[in-house]
Amino acid sequence: MDELIKTFHIDWKLLIAQIINFAIVVGVLGFFAVKPLVKLMTEREGKIKKGVEDAQQAEAELKKAEEIKEEKKKEGRKEAQVILDKAEKDSDSLRVEKIEKAQTEVKKVIEEAKSKILSDKEKMATDVKQNARDLIVASLNKITSGTIDEKVHSKLIDNAIEEVKLAK
């Protein structure tokens, strides 16, 4: 071993001093550099973990929000369809109601017209009968010039009116 020390020129005192210096440098670096770096890395690791967890939570909430949004869209579409169906049904019933009202009014106008025509027809028939009766009476009075008594005269008038009715 002595030979080895002489061959490599190792000085024990210098070697011990370098070991002590190295231990001091390692101790100082460990205390002032490594320890704060480890602490900083640990904090950074915690922040990263928290960031990842927050991101996962945000992603889950976003997914949930998307599902809620889709549900709301579906509900909105259903409500819109219900409203459209109701509006269509209401318009159909309103149209049917208007048509029925118009038909009722048309029937009423037709009935009134028929009634008026019938009334006018009866009035005309009465007027024609009265005019025919007056003409017949005037004609008979001129022809008979007082030779027929009142009973025969009424009977002739009635017979003439019956003939006019049958001729229609």
What are the residue ranges spanned by the domains of the chain?
A: 2-167
Tens digits of residue pLDDT in 104-119: 999 999 999 999 999 9
For residue 43, what pLDDT is reported?
Answer: 95
What does the block give as tokens for 3? 């030979």
Residues in CB range of 12: below 8 A, 6 or more apart: 5
Tens digits of residue pLDDT in 75-128: 999 999 999 999 999 999 999 999 999 999 999 999 999 999 999 998 998 888
H or E, element range at 34: none
How far apart CA 20 and CA 22 sit, in angstroms, is 5
Tens digits of residue pLDDT in 10-44: 777 888 999 999 999 999 998 898 888 999 999 99
pTM above 0.75, yes or no: no
How far apart CA 121 and CA 108 sit, in angstroms, is 20
Q: At what angle do helices 35-144 and 150-167 cross, to 10 degrees?
A: 140
Q: Among residues 132, 134, 140, which one has the least CA distance to residue 162?
A: 132
In the numeric block, the tokens 């929000």 are attached to: 65
Q: Does 146 have pLDDT greater than 70?
A: no
